[in-house]
Amino acid sequence: MTVDGWIRHEVVIVCDQSNLDAMPISRSLRSIGRQRSSWLILLGAGGAATAIALASPSLGLPSSSSSAISDSPKEVIDQVWQIVYRDYLDSTGKYNPEDWKGLRKDLLAKNYSATSESYEAIRGMLASLDDPYTRFLDPKEFKEMQIDTSGELTGVGIQLSLDKDTKELVVVSPIEGTPASKAGVQPKDVIVFINGQSTKGMSTADAVKLIRGKEGSEVTLGLRRKGSVIQVPLIRARIEIQAVDQQLNTTVDGTKIGYIRLKQFNAHAAKGMRSAIKNLENEGAQGYVLDLRSNPGGLLEASVDIARQWLDEGTIVRTKTRDGIQDVRRANGSALTKRPVVVLVNEGSASASEILSGALQDNHRGVLVGQKTFGKGLVQSVRGLSDGSGLTVTIAKYLTPSGTDIHKNGIEPDVKAVMSEKEIKNLNLEDLGSGKDSQYKVAETTLIKALKKVLDGTFYNPVGVNLSYALQSSV
């Protein structure tokens, strides 16, 4: 198992989002009537989105509001079909417009007695594209995706993991300021029951279902701590998920290093990064290690905003649709620091993480340390459908500032650093960014070398960076 597998897949934040209308991102995500749907940009191996526009699914083709399919399971089938027909960027070579038209005719000719049957038909239709990022989300799955991206949740505020050896549910850490933190829940507490129900053999997903609930409702956890079991009643509340962790590390020679771990690009990530940089600047940080390991991605706008906090000049990212329409995002002179930065990446650093990594690397702003990144260079939109379900569909690809298409290729680090299997097995979340973290130690050494280059004036001159590429009209 890799660090990515341990951190990304086993740690669950126990929260729920019960009032979507209360949050701007959630409001953008939900379906907006029968003939209008949300159009969102998706970046991330696991899925994340932000609203960019509103659009109607109508294409001048047979309308989904026709008497034959309106208010029937066929309506959503047709909505999905039309979105793909108009916007889909084929990266697999499996999409043929004429075959797609024939598929629509066949599916709408059938009768569907229940939504489950129409959902199965939609998934089969999308499977023909052989694109893992173009997928249908039933209403429950769509809501879960909104939870991942909003950065604001309703729950108790604990990070939950399944112990690799004992298979017990363990608290990784409580989130500061949440009901769990205020009630004294501690890291490594073992959850033995939830509202009186034993957790023996329970998965994290099953535990989350029991712990989540509406704001103001109560859940009681049985926690084993140092051999004793205590009952902890918790009142669920609105929680802001912290995407950014920070700390000031001091080396043996007295060098002050600002360590920032960015866990995901949610709606609060840019704000958290801005606060972390300012705090560490005030604490006297001489340089930075930015940890993007196992960060699966997230909001496009968050990745651009965060890049601008490190870059004064240069291209950040370029996106290109199937019709050749391009959008270029650039730095705007709003960098918060010019101190050297080393970026930690691994095979779990994906999508928005790769946008940020590529921007810093290609602009010679930061040095990448670690392992080759995931290699997801496709952009998805997320469409809310008329019945509360949703669709993620690949609509564009993105290129790094130097024009590199990293999809399925990833970004190679400037300095390679790989953890041993033994270290991976024994590494805990709290060890990241410490002397127990060998990749961090390599990043620290690399940063100290960069600090020496600052003294002789050879580190990061933004003038003219990628200018020739930025002036190109096509790629």
Rounded average pLDDT over 447-472: 60
> Could you tell me if 168 and 252 lie in one domain?
no
Q: How far is CA 463 from the centre of its chain?
A: 32
pLDDT above 90: residue 124: yes
Predicted TM-score of the model (pTM): 0.73
CA dist., res. 459 & res. 472, Å (int): 27
Rounded average pLDDT over 331-358: 95
pLDDT above 80: residue 364: yes
- Residue 319, φ and ψ in degrees, nearest 5: -110, 150
The 10s digit of each residue's pLDDT in 297-311 is 888 899 999 999 999
* Beta pairing class for 256-262 and 326-330: unpaired
Assign residue 278 the CATH number of its domain.
3.90.226.10
* 225, burial (CB in 10 Å: exposed 0-12, middle 13-18, buried 19+): middle
CA dist., res. 436 & res. 459, Å (int): 29
Question: In terms of pLDDT, which residue wins out, 135 or 70?
Answer: 135
> What pLDDT does residue 18 have?
28
> Could you tell me if 85 and 176 lie in one domain?
no
> Could you tell me if 226 and 279 lie in one domain?
no
Whether residue 248 lies inside any domain: the answer is yes
Domain end among 240, 267, 292 = 240
CB 188 within 8 A of CB 159: no
> Could you tell me if 197 and 280 lie in one domain?
no
Whether residue 134 lies inside any domain: the answer is yes
Integer CA distances (angstroms), 182 to 233, 236, 284, 289, 405, in order: 11, 12, 31, 31, 47
Lowest mean pLDDT among 245-254, 391-400, 426-435: 426-435
* Beta pairing class for 378-384 and 390-399: antiparallel
Catalytic residue among 64, 150, 351, 357: 351
Domain end among 146, 163, 181 = 146
Assign residue 206 the CATH number of its domain.
2.30.42.10
Lowest mean pLDDT among 67-71, 81-85, 146-150, 239-243: 67-71
CB 297 within 8 A of CB 48: yes
Whether residue 8 lies inside any domain: the answer is no
Top mean pLDDT of 17-21, 55-59, 455-459 is at: 455-459
At residue 421 the predicted structure's pLDDT band, cuts being 50, 70 and 90, is confident
pLDDT above 80: residue 45: no
Beta strands in 284-427 (DSSP E): 287-291, 315-321, 326-330, 341-345, 366-370, 378-384, 390-399, 415-416
Question: In terms of pLDDT, which residue wins out, 234 or 214?
Answer: 234
CA dist., res. 86 & res. 74, Å (int): 18
CB 276 within 8 A of CB 309: no
Active site residue 362: yes
Lowest mean pLDDT among 33-47, 224-238, 276-290: 33-47
CA dist., res. 384 & res. 124, Å (int): 19
- Length of the chain measured in residues: 475
> Could you tell me if 443 and 314 lie in one domain?
yes
> Could you tell me if 405 and 325 lie in one domain?
yes
pLDDT above 80: residue 321: yes
Whether residue 468 lies inside any domain: the answer is no
User: Which H or E run contains 49?
Assistant: strand 49-55
Integer CA distances (angstroms), 62 to 66, 220, 306, 436, in order: 7, 53, 43, 61
> What pLDDT does residue 475 have?
28
With a CB cutoff of 8 Å and minimum separation 6, the contacts of 3 are 293, 294, 346, 348, 419, 424, 427
Active site residue 376: yes
Say whether 116 sits in a helix, a strand or coil. Answer: helix
Whether residue 1 lies inside any domain: the answer is no
CA-nearest of 327, 354, 473 to 410 is: 354
* 205, burial (CB in 10 Å: exposed 0-12, middle 13-18, buried 19+): exposed
Catalytic residue among 87, 148, 312, 362: 362
Whether residue 230 lies inside any domain: the answer is yes
> Could you tell me if 161 and 115 lie in one domain?
no
Q: How far is CA 25 from the centre of its chain?
A: 14
Burial 264-274 (b: 16+ CB within 10 A, else e): bbbbbbbebbb
Domain count, the chain: 3
Integer CA distances (angstroms), 362 to 20, 304, 454, in order: 39, 15, 19
DSSP for residue 175: P
Active site residue 351: yes
CB 36 within 8 A of CB 385: no
Question: In terms of pLDDT, which residue wins out, 312 or 470?
Answer: 312
> Could you tell me if 134 and 159 lie in one domain?
no
CA dist., res. 378 & res. 430, Å (int): 32
At residue 71 the predicted structure's pLDDT band, cuts being 50, 70 and 90, is low
pLDDT above 90: residue 174: no
Whether residue 2 lies inside any domain: the answer is no
> Could you tell me if 274 and 294 lie in one domain?
yes
Question: In terms of pLDDT, which residue wins out, 172 or 244?
Answer: 244
Lowest mean pLDDT among 161-175, 375-389, 449-463: 449-463
Domain end among 184, 209, 240 = 240
- Domain span at residue 249? 244-463
Assign residue 79 the CATH number of its domain.
3.30.750.44
Whether residue 7 lies inside any domain: the answer is no
- Residue 429, φ and ψ in degrees, nearest 5: -55, -40
User: How many secondary structure helices (H) and strands (E) does the chain include?
Assistant: 15, 21
With a CB cutoff of 8 Å and minimum separation 6, the contacts of 165 are none
CA dist., res. 274 & res. 262, Å (int): 12
> Could you tell me if 169 and 261 lie in one domain?
no
> Could you tell me if 214 and 252 lie in one domain?
no
**Percentage with pLDDT > 70 across the chain:** 79
> Could you tell me if 216 and 261 lie in one domain?
no
